[in-house]
Structure 1
C-alpha cells in the first residue's frame, strides 16, 4: 500500500530537521597574535655616484665613466664588499625654462656584512664619488632563519589564544576559518641623502662611521575561528 505523498514529504522534512540538529553550530571570533625578535642589522649597502654638468656631453660621459671604472677597480680587491653598477642617466639642465646644459650621472652600489671594510672603502671612494645614501638591513640568511622560528612561535601563540577563547567561552571545540601569516621588517629606512662639494685628491674626507644597530622582525597572524555552541 502506497503512502500518501504528503506523509512522505513530512517524513523527509523530519529527517532533514533531525540531521540539521545533529550538526554543530558555531560562533565566529577574529583575533591577531604576534611573535617578534630583535636582530642585528648585519648587511650594509651604500650608493655612490659620479656626476658631471656642462655642455660637452661626450667629455662629461668620459669623465663619469673614468670615475666609475676607477671606483670599481678600487673596490675589486675588497673581497668582503660586493659591488655593482646602477643607473646611468643623461638629463637636461634648465634655466628659466630653457635647456642650458646637461647632467651625466652614474651610480654604483656597495654591499657588505663587514662595516669596517665598507667604511674604509667609502673613505677612499669619496675622493672622486659622492655618497647618496647608506641603508642597513638584515641579511637574507638571518632573515629567513629568524622568520622560520618566528612562524613556529606565532602559530603556537595562535593555538594558545584559540584554546584560551574556547575554554573561556565554555565551548567544546573550535575550528579554523581563516589564518593569514605575514612577516614584517628586515630593512631600515636609508640614511637621508647628502651631497658634498667636489674635493681635490689630497682633501678626501674621513671614512664614515657605520653602525647598523638593531631592529625587530615580526610575524603577524590574523586568525578567525568558530567556537561550537555546545
Structure 2
C-alpha cells in the first residue's frame, strides 16, 4: 500500500498575564505550550461493490404497472438472495403520469430498483448479467468494508502517534527545552473513495446477459492526531 506521512507544526503559544493596577489579578497562563498536528494516510483497495438495477414500464393503467414491477422486483430479489455472498434489497419505486400537449394524462410510467451488495465481485458481476432480461444495471459504486477500514486505521494510528511524538520531541529541542509532557490530544479518522467514472456505469447498462464488468478502485484512509504539549526545561 502506498503510504503517506505528514506532520505539521501549527505553532507555539507562550503567554504571560500581568495584573493591572487596581484591577483583578489572574493566574499566569502556562508558557512553553506547543500545538502540533501529525497525519498518516494510505490507499486501500475497495472491497465492497454496490450495484443498482432498474426496470421501467409504460402503460395505460397505473395499477397494472405497479403490480408488474412489484412482481419483477420480488423475483429479482429472490434470485439474488439465492446467490451466495450477495445481499439484495428493494430500492426506489415510482409510478407517475405522462401528459400530452393538452395537459391530459396520456400514459403512465413506472420504475423499480433493486440494490445489490457484495464483496464477491465475480458473483455479483455474473448475477447482473443473468438478470439483464429483467432489470438492467443503472449504477455501480464501491466502498470499504468496516473490517478493512478498521485494520487500516489501526496501523495508521500507530504511525500518526509516533510521528506526533517525534515532532514534539524535535521541536521541543529547537526551542531550547529538554523534554515535554502531553497536555491534550485528539485522534480522528477520515476516508474517501475515489469516484468511479460515469462512463463505466453507462457501459455496464449495455451488458446483455454477459457478466457485467466490475472493478473497484482505491479508498484513502487518514488518521490525524492533534494536540498540545508542555515543553519542559
TM-score bracket relative to the smaller structure: 0.7 to 0.9
Matched length: 205
Instruction: Please give the secondary structure, in 1, of the residue aligned with 2:77.
Output: helix
Q: Is the CA contact (8 Å cut-off) linking 1:135 and 1:188 kept in structure 2?
A: no
Relative distance call for 1:195 and 1:211 in structure 2 (3 A) is: closer
Match of residue 144 from structure 2: 138
Residues in 2 aligned to 1:221 and 1:140: alpha-carbon distance in whole angstroms:
21
Residues in 1 aligned to 2:170 and 2:219: alpha-carbon distance in whole angstroms:
31
Provide the TM-score with structure 2 as the length reference.
0.74
Larger radius of gyration: 1
Relative distance call for 1:92 and 1:166 in structure 2 (3 A) is: farther
Q: Is the CA contact (8 Å cut-off) linking 1:135 and 1:191 kept in structure 2?
A: no
Structure with the largest fraction of strand = 2
Q: Is the CA contact (8 Å cut-off) linking 1:143 and 1:186 kept in structure 2?
A: no
Q: Deviations 1:183-223 (Å, cap 9, x if unpaired)? A: 122544355354998x9xxx935322111133332112233
Relative distance call for 1:127 and 1:42 in structure 2 (3 A) is: same
Residues in 1 aligned to 2:95 and 2:40: alpha-carbon distance in whole angstroms:
47
Residues in 2 aligned to 1:99 and 1:222: alpha-carbon distance in whole angstroms:
62
Q: Which moved more, 1:205-214 or 1:98-107?
A: 98-107
**Unaligned runs of at least 5 residues, structure 1:** 1-16
What does residue range 72-91 of structure 1 map to in structure 2 within 5 Å? 72-91=77-96
Which of 127, 132, 145 is the matching residue for 1:121? 127
Instruction: Indicate the RMSD between aligned Cα atoms, in angstroms.
Output: 3.0
Cα drift, residue 64 of structure 1 = 0.8
Which of 156, 159, 162 is the matching residue for 1:156? 162
Cα drift, residue 178 of structure 1 = 4.4
Which one scores higher on RCO, CA 8 angstroms, separation ≥ 6? 1
Point out 4+ residue stretches in structure 1 off by more than 4 angstroms: 94-97
